[in-house]
Amino acid sequence: MSIDTPTLLESAEFNPAVRKYWLLSGSLILFITVAGIPLLLFWWILGMYVTGRYLDRMACELTTQSLIVKKGILVRVEKTIPLDKITDLGLIQGPVMRYFGIHALSVETAGSTSQGALVKLHGIVDVEGFRDRVLKQKDLFLANENSAVPAAAQAPSESSEVVTLLREIRDELRKDRSPI
């Protein structure tokens, strides 16, 4: 079985309105804490720069075998998520997100913890279509993986000998068990 190199199928595009969402969310948090109210002006000045840099460094690429997510400013994070490990692609849209016309895409995997999604991406343009394309590629990948002929199927006589031997061992173990 040969290992194919993954081919890039699609790169997600991000909606610039996500910056406004992040700025407003930060402002609401500062406002609610009351002590943060004096920091609001500072947040808007610094926030415009930080959210722009963060958005520029966000990337999500769909390949034939995985989903690659890159993000971060000071700490750069790159996660490669194999398509066969993805268990759910959820869409989240709260009232503020709805106002700005954006969604969050959450990627959950078999190894995700109880803390939630492995990756959450805000502001992907045509997020429903992107999610559908990822799920379609996942189905294609799994179909190709399942169509690969396993080594045991290539040698049926050896496989049946192993099964016969395992049955004999099982039968012997059952005989040796005596009630106490």
Model pLDDT for residues 22-34, shown as the tens digit of each residue? 999 989 988 898 8
* Pairing of the two strands 77-82 and 8-11: unpaired
Contact by Cβ (8 Å): 32, 64: no
pLDDT of residue 150: 54
Summarize pLDDT for 73-131 with one digit per residue, the tens: 999 999 999 999 999 999 999 999 999 999 999 999 877 665 667 889 999 999 999 99
Q: Is the pLDDT of residue 154 over 60?
A: no
User: Is pLDDT at 177 greater than 80 in this prediction?
Assistant: no
Return the H-helix or E-strand segment holding 24.
helix 17-32
Say which CATH number the domain at 76 has: 2.30.29
pLDDT at position 157: 54
Does residue 179 or residue 127 have the better pLDDT? 127
Residue, of 14 and 180, whose pLDDT is higher: 14
Binning the chain into helix, strand and coil, the percentages to the nearest 5 are: 50, 20, 25
> Residue 10 has what pLDDT?
93
* Domain-located, residue 92: yes
Note whether residue 31 is domain-resident.
yes
Q: How many CB atoms lie within 10 A of CB 33?
A: 10
With respect to residue 123, please indicate whether it lies within any of the assigned structural domains: yes
- Provide the whole-model pTM: 0.72
What local confidence, expressed as pLDDT, does residue 152 receive? 47
In a domain? residue 100: yes
The residue range of the domain holding 110 is 8-170
The confidence score (pLDDT) of residue 1 equals 46
- 47 close to 23: Cβ distance less than 8 angstroms: yes
- Domain membership of residue 129 (yes or no) is yes
In a domain, 178, yes or no: no
Number of domains in the chain: 1
Mean model confidence pLDDT for the chain = 85
